[in-house]
Amino acid sequence: MGLRIGDIAPNFKIDTTKGEIDFHEWSKGSWVFFFSHPADYTPVCTTEMGRTSQLAGEFEKRGVKPLGLSTDTVEEHLGWINDVNETQNTNLQFPIVADKDKKVAALYEMIHPGESETAAVRSVFIIDPNHKIRLTMTYPMAVGRNFTEILRVIDALQTGDQFGVACPADWQVGGDVIIPPSVSNEAAEKKFPQGFKTVKPYLRYTSVNK
């Protein structure tokens, strides 16, 4: 059975571009954006690594640590980072896992034989401060990730945790949120003194300030 939302993200110890890490110790108390890419010195991956680096401030203010992975060595990663910095006008500082033996890729099921027998697809795991997997996404090798969406779902997860709400389709920070059906109207009146709008008994909107 593969990894599912709600599972504890498996721990591992491995070399990275920032030295060896114990994943659970390294990530303790933080959210994690853990993402794999097929290989170093490849075009789409170069843009993704660059974009993650460019968004360092956005991840930091959300309490999120990015962690990249491919099945290359630390030395290969370090050489490639120079290209990423040059071509994407950035200064990449987050660690990249050197999974040359494919152990972590296997643990997280990042290799899909229909795409490649040896290279990881573009997997995304959003992991919370309790090491719980909160979201997964998988992109094919030829399609780069949508980082606007990655930041949006992190915002949605954190908003849901903070206020006990759900987020509707295409939700953005500042938009109305949904009161879960498990919350009675009486409880909702106490929990959301700012009020709420009832469209259907199961569909009630309110506003929160993250």
Q: Global pTM?
A: 0.93
Claim to verify: residue 134 and residue 202 sit in the same structural domain:
no
- Label residue 121 by pLDDT band (50, 70, 90): low
Q: What is the CATH number of the domain that holds 153?
A: 3.40.30.10
Give residue 185's domain range: 164-206
What's the pLDDT at 210?
67
| CATH code of 199's domain | 3.30.1020.10
Any domain includes 1: no
Q: Tell me: pLDDT of 209 over 90.
A: no
With respect to residue 177, please indicate whether it lies within any of the assigned structural domains.
yes
pLDDT one-digit tens code per residue, 135-185: 999 888 889 999 999 999 999 999 999 999 999 999 999 999 999 999 999
- Answer whether residue 20 shows pLDDT above 90: yes
For residue 167, indicate whether it is catalytic.
no
Q: Which of 9, 14, 32, 45 is catalytic?
A: 45
What per-residue confidence (pLDDT) applies to 122? 83
CA 129 to each of CA 9, 63, 110: distance values in angstroms, whole numbers, following the listed order: 11, 9, 22
Alpha carbon distances (Å) from 13 to 50, 80, 103, 142, 168? 25, 23, 10, 29, 38
Centroid of chain to Cα 195: 32
Mean pLDDT of 26-55: 95
Number of domains in the chain: 2
